[in-house]
Copies of this chain bind each other. A is one copy, B any other.
Amino acid sequence: MDMNLIPDIVVGRLPRYLQALQRMSEDGHLSTSSQELGDRLGISAAQIRKDLSQFGEFGKQGTGYAIPYLIDQLESILKIKKVWDIALIGAGDLGRAIAHYQGFSNRGFRIALVFDNSREKIGKNIGNFIIQDIADLEKKVREAHIQVAMLTVPASVAQIVAETVVKTGIRAILSYAPTPLNLPDDVHVEYIDPLIQLQHMTYYLG
């Protein structure tokens, strides 16, 4: 049986397609082509068609893709027709910036709870949230059925905090800590590390 296992690299491009389509839609466009979408994203038209065709036939020959329909399909594929609640762990400068960011809603996500371990911060406000004690993480996460975490803690504690997060049943972690996390294979981890990306670019500078 040919299991319909789609390469992760393809899945990773879908959110970019969706983002571009949502922008087009906001600009009043109703349809597009793989060519136009590719030009915007710097991706070949053939690749976009091939990626999308892994999930179904969403376009029409001669016409292209109906934007609202394709957006709807991509949102279903990425499971963001519902809103995912997020536990934000770490109420430092970066955590504060993220808690204030308004761009998650409408896009499938919502910061639901903010945690920290510092006595001075627990109980204080950050945006609309009251900072919770990380000691209560498991209880609160389970109560609220949270399935996604964002980590904005120092690298020195990232591994231990991540293990605590996994104990709560969470299986998706977006980590801003500049260190690799060693977690069970069924936990999905993504990293954001500006230094890594800066160092990647300087390789090419004169």
Residues of A within 8 A of B (CB): 11-12, 14-16, 18-20, 23, 40-42, 77-80, 84, 86, 92-94, 96-98, 100-101, 103-104, 107-109, 147-148, 150, 155, 171-172, 174, 178-180, 182, 188, 190, 192-205
Report copies per complex: 2
Q: Contact between B174 and A42 (Cβ–Cβ < 8 Å)?
A: no
Q: Contact between B195 and A107 (Cβ–Cβ < 8 Å)?
A: yes
Q: Other than A94-B101, A96-B97, give 8 A-B pairs with Cβ distance below 8 A.
A: A15-B197, A23-B179, A42-B180, A84-B205, A108-B198, A108-B199, A172-B198, A172-B205
- Tell me the complex Cα distance, A41–B191, Å: 12
- Tell me the complex Cα distance, A198–B104, Å: 10
- Tell me the complex Cα distance, A179–B100, Å: 19
Q: Contact between A80 and B174 (Cβ–Cβ < 8 Å)?
A: no
- Tell me the complex Cα distance, A12–B202, Å: 11
